[in-house]
Amino acid sequence: TTRIVLAERPVGEPKDSDFRVETVELPEPASDEALLETLYLSLDPYMRGRMSAGKSYATPLEIGDTMVGATVSRVMTSGDDKFAPGDLVLGYSGWQTYAIAKTAHLRTLDPSTSPTTALGVLGMPGFTAYAGMRNIGKPKEGETVVVAAATGPVGSMVGQLAKLAGARAVGIAGGPEKVRILTEELGFDAGIDHRAEDFTEQLAAATPDGIDVYFENVGGKVLNAVVRRMNLYSRMPVCGLIADYNATALPDGHDRMGWFMRQILNQSMLVRGFIQGEFAPTQMNDFLTEITPLVAEGKIRYREDVVDGLDNAIEAFRGLLTGRNLGKLVIKVSD
Ligand code: NDP
């Protein structure tokens, strides 16, 4: 297999030299294992956290470890008769062309939807949106829901779940093309551009009745603007803070913690962090049962950004952290 491993812990934005490409021989699969060929590799923001040594919700990678990641893979040989050569499965092979996997960790893909959906709209990111909205955001009819990184797999699902609940969905994205897609393709009621000079005014115009649910994906200046518009009893599922993932220090200026706490108190706001894995064991089946038919029927829309070749994974990953992707970022590793 050819694989990309962590060579050094990045400082700031990951550099080429933080990664190393290796080619190694794989052993034969044991009776509870299968040999998999990677067809598609999912690139996700959490991978940046795994590259650092700091305390996080997941164990960091060691230097020399293969970069992790969910994959759509083809079974080549299997020691377990539940899987046959040619089967397409959802696995976790990481950034490599072939892998040996425990068959207990594999799931056969639903043939009613295209395989890459298992990495995005019907995969971990889509489920993240579902879990955060069902357990924390709990949008009600007529309420206003705001989410950033809104063309991505988490944000676009948040917006569409808001619409299904009868709420107003406001998406925030970077640049005019993404903003156009929010309302024209992904069903948002309004789209606003966090890179625009008048972002704060656009946010106010798009949320005339304030904000009841802010699904937090990004942090930074978007959070700062949104907090001022949160309503009484509003909810904030804290899912991600991507604006800070490459940061090497806290921002300059006043410590705003006290101000933020006062807003939480004044508005009786619920601010609750979560990692999707908390809910996956009990709610993943509900998610797949409810959402798979909506995707198959085109009632839930999604965007994918498929980049050809494992060679391009590092550059594409840098782009994910800075907004160069448009939709769920997937590397096509093999046909
Ligand atoms: P996306 O495909 O949406 O990609 C990330 C996007 O973040 C970029 O395209 C960019 O979009 C936006 N972004 C980057 N920097 C900034 C910034 N400084 N300010 C505002 N937006 C920025 O990613 P996902 O949908 O996969 O993930 C979205 C969030 O959800 C991430 O924070 C991720 O870590 C989190 N997450 C959390 C999970 C959990 O269990 N808690 C599980 C899965 C994801 P744009 O160009 O529009 O700005």
Residue 62 has pLDDT above 80, yes or no: yes
Count CA atoms within 13 Å of residue 218 on its CB side.
27
Q: How far is CA 98 from CA 13, 91, 156, 219, 311, in A?
A: 28, 11, 31, 36, 15
Q: Which atom of ligand 1 is nearest to the CA of 305?
A: 2
What is the domain-level CATH number for residue 110? 3.90.180.10
Rounded-to-integer distance, Cα 269 and Cα 235, Å: 6
Is residue 297 a part of any domain in this protein? no
Q: Label residue 253 by pLDDT band (50, 70, 90).
A: confident
The pLDDT assigned to 162 comes to 98
Please indicate whether residue 273, judged by its CB atom, sits closer than 6 Å to ligand 1: no
Instruction: Tell me how far the alpha carbon of residue 152 lies from the centroid of ligand 1, in angstroms.
Output: 7
Residue of 50, 156, 157, 218 to mutate, ligand 1, most atoms within 8 A of C-beta = 218
Distance 157 CA to ligand 1 centre (A): 13
Q: How far is it, in rounded angstroms, from Cα 22 to Cα 2?
A: 6
Q: Is residue 60 pLDDT above 80, yes or no?
A: yes
**Tens digits of per-residue pLDDT, 104-155?**
999 999 888 899 999 999 999 999 999 999 999 999 999 999 999 999 999 9
Report whether residue 148 contacts ligand 1, using a CB cutoff of 6 Å.
Answer: yes
Question: Is 289 part of any domain?
Answer: no
Ligand 1 contact, 323 CB (< 6 A): yes
CB 119 within 8 A of CB 40: yes
Cβ 226 under 6 angstroms from ligand 1:
no
Its domain, for residue 247, covers 124-277
The closest alpha carbon to 331, from 316, 55, 212, 319, belongs to 316
Could you give the number of structural domains in the chain?
A: 2
Based on the domain organization, do 34 and 148 belong to the same domain? no
What whole-number percentage of the chain has pLDDT above 70?
Answer: 100
**CA 240 – ligand 1 centroid, Å:** 7
Claim to verify: residue 193 and residue 67 sit in the same structural domain:
no
Q: What pLDDT is attached to residue 55? A: 76
